[in-house]
Amino acid sequence: MNNVSLHDLAPTSGASREEVLRGLRSPQKELPCKLLYDEYGSQLFEQICALDEYYPTRAELRIMRASASDMAESIGPDCLLIEYGSGSSTKTPLLLDHLDQPVAYVPIDISREMLHESSRQLARRYPGLEVLPVCADYTSPFELPGTHRAARRRVAYYPGSTLGNFVPEDAKRFLRRIGDVCGPGGGLLLGVDLKKDPLMLHRAYNDALGTTAAFNLNVLRRLNREFQATFDLDRFRHYAFYNPVFARIEMHLVSLVPQHVLVAGVDIAFERGESIWTEASYKYNQSEFATLVGAAGWHVAQTWTDDRNLFTVQYLTRT
């Protein structure tokens, strides 16, 4: 069995007491969307990706299957591939199968167990590849591990349209940070969800099985466990809708009754119908996205879409 040594920056998953209370005390109550991904939430998210209504995963996989060799050609030989939020690295082999002599693969994820396991699997599958996992919160600065061979180019891989979960100003900041990590001549391959029929978007975040509802409500269970909160999940409703003015899905938890909840010893009052905003998922068109990345020092070199124009994978180079 291949042994991979993990660079552990000991990230804290979740949110601090201050962050949670600040969000719940603001006029529009909110919680950081990273709280959705505890162990159970991550399992629910995997289930969401397999749902009939949740088109992004399948659309992105179709694009990767059809065009990964083109992508590898744009990336070129001897790259260092850095994957942000690698999770179970399911899409990575589609790319690795086509890359010309990659110097190393650096998956970065906050979830230590999943990172270790997926790194071991990849090291077994690609015995000649240096696999250098980094356990870190990739939104904070981190050091890249050293490699045996020098890379011709550093290329970041950020699939899954996760950039859409940042508000545009934060997305720009994050893209600049990736630019700093990749350096001059660097590249970035990322998945982006496109604007489309709002009913299709609505269905993707309101699935018939209620998996997205369970994913959203699980954040309250997490607060009960980690912040000694007293949320009754039956007194909140999952509510997700597409807001065309901001081109984003907004996911909320709406209080069904007037109620008081204790969170970390602090009393939080809810009116009937008042919501906690738990996630935003921005959708773009190609030109808006090009403007966004341009403002962050990147240039769209190439774009691939599926036959229904639902999703796009873009290869960006540093301007």
**Smallest gap, in angstroms, from Cβ of residue 160 to ligand AVI?**
5
CA 29 to chain centroid, in Å, comes to: 22
Least distance in angstroms from the C-beta of 282 to ligand AVI: 8
Q: Any alpha helices (H) in the chain, and if so which ranges?
A: 17-25, 39-49, 55-75, 92-96, 112-125, 168-182, 198-204, 211-226, 286-294
Q: What letter would DSSP give residue 163?
A: G
Shortest Cβ distance from residue 278 to ligand AVI (Å)? 9
DSSP state letters, 220-282:
HHHHHHHS-----GGGEEEEEEEETTTTEEEEEEEESS-EEEEETTEEEEE-TT-EEEEEEEE
Q: How far is the CB of 48 from ligand AVI (least distance, A)?
A: 5
CB nearer to ligand AVI: pick between 154 and 248? 248
Residues that bind ligand AVI (CB under 6 A): 48, 160-162, 164-165, 205, 212, 279, 281
Q: How many CA atoms lie within 13 A of 248 on its CB side?
A: 17
Torsion of CA 71, 88, 177, 6, to 10 degrees: -120
CB of 89 vs ligand AVI, minimal distance in Å: 15
Task: Report the half-sphere exposure of 70 (CA within 13 A, side-chain side).
Answer: 13
Would you tell me how many other CB atoms lie within 10 Å of the CB of residue 275?
Answer: 19
In the complex with ligand AVI, the residue whose CB is nearer, 162 or 305, is 162
CB of 183 to ligand AVI, least distance (A): 27
Q: Which residue is nearest to ligand AVI (CB)?
A: 281
